[in-house]
């Protein structure tokens, strides 16, 4: 398998958020700013990578019938680890992301990688896939967070560009959907080219 292609597939062609429409809850719920989107993306990256590694190593030992429950237990463990470690060392971000940290466990995108990729491929491919897809997810969330922050608060990564409040609606719930809609349209265009 071509590892470079394996690594880059998630960014546009198979982008988890914009094209596959997976993991939408954290994508919309945590992206009130570019930094929050980035933090959520990184937390998810860690979980995807670790669960891909473990699933890939033990794929031959796990019987087919109990495969999904086993994957869920593995993912849930890494989610709890992320939750505890973030609470201990990144208190502010942990408070900001709140409920969406334990909810990584039900991010269809994470289970999807374990089931569709790591359970069928070698360890090295799975690592590349985990990092690539995790980064693609982070990119998507950061993009969404940055556009919402830019339109809604006239700022990016907390840096105020223009004085004033901006179009508040983009920070609020409706703006999340609308911003994502336009980003998907943009991605569809990129995918075709």
Partner 1 sequence: MEYIVIVIGAVLVNNIVLAQFLGLCPLFGVSSKISTAAGMGGAVLFVMTVASIVTYLLSNFLLEPFNLMYLQTITYILVISSLVQMVEIILKKVSPPLYQALGIFLPLMTTNCAILGVAILVFQQDLTLLQGVVFAIAHSIGFTLAIILLAGIREHMDLLDIPKGMKGNPIIMVTAGLLALAFMGFAGIV
Partner 2 sequence: MVLTLFVVTLVASTSLALIYEVTKEPIRLAALERKNNAIMQVVPEFNNMPNEEEFTIEVPGGELVLYPARMDGELVGVAIETFTRRGYSGTIELMVGLLPDGTIHGIEVLRHAETPGLGDKIETDKSDFYKQFVGRNPGDFTMKLRQDNGEIDGITATTITSRAYCEAVQLAYDVFIEKGDLK
Q: Which residues bind partner 2 (CB under 8 A)?
A: 32-33, 61-63, 65-66, 69-70, 73-74, 76-77, 80-81, 84-85, 87-89, 91, 95, 98, 152-153, 165, 168, 171-172
C-alpha to C-alpha distance for 172 and 168, rounded to whole angstroms: 7
Q: Does 175 bind partner 1 (CB under 8 A)?
A: yes
- Beta carbon nearer to partner 1, 19 or 49: 19
The closest of 18, 88, 20, 81 to 49, measured between CA atoms, is: 81
Q: Does 24 bind partner 1 (CB under 8 A)?
A: yes
- Bridge partners, residue 155, by sequence: 160
Contacting partner 1 (CB under 8 A), which of 12, 53, 62, 72?
72
Output phi, psi for 97, to 5 deg.
-80, -25
Q: Does 91 bind partner 1 (CB under 8 A)?
A: no
Q: Does 116 bind partner 1 (CB under 8 A)?
A: no
What does 177 bind: partner 1, partner 2, none (CB cut-off 5 to 8 Å by kind)?
Answer: partner 1
C-alpha to C-alpha distance for 104 and 155, rounded to whole angstroms: 27
Q: Does 132 bind partner 1 (CB under 8 A)?
A: no
Contacting partner 1 (CB under 8 A), which of 6, 52, 107, 125?
107
- Residue 95 CB, nearest distance to partner 2 (Å)? 7
Half-sphere exposure in the Cβ direction for 18 (13 Å, CA): 29
| The two structure tokens encoding residue 161 | 């560009």
The closest of 162, 113, 171, 165 to 144, measured between CA atoms, is: 171
């Amino acid at each position: 398998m071509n590892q470079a292609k394996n690594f880059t597939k998630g960014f546009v062609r198979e982008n988890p958020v914009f094209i596959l429409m997976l993991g939408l809850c954290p994508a919309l719920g945590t992206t009130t700013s570019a930094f929050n989107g980035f933090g959520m993306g990184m937390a998810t990256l860690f979980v995807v990578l670790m669960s891909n590694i473990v699933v890939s190593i033990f794929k031959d030992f796990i019987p087919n019938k109990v495969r999904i429950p086993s994957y869920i237990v593995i993912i849930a463990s890494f989610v709890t680890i992320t939750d505890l470690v973030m609470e201990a060392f990144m208190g502010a971000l942990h408070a900001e992301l709140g409920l969406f940290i334990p909810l990584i466990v039900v991010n269809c995108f994470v289970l999807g990688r374990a089931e569709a990729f790591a359970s069928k491929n070698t360890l090295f491919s799975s690592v590349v896939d985990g990092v690539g897809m995790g980064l693609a997810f982070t990119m998507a969330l950061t993009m969404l967070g940055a556009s919402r922050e830019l339109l809604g608060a006239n700022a990016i990564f907390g840096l105020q560009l223009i004085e004033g409040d901006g179009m508040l609606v983009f920070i609020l719930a409706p703006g999340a959907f609308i911003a994502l809609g336009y980003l998907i349209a943009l991605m569809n265009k990129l995918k075709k080219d």
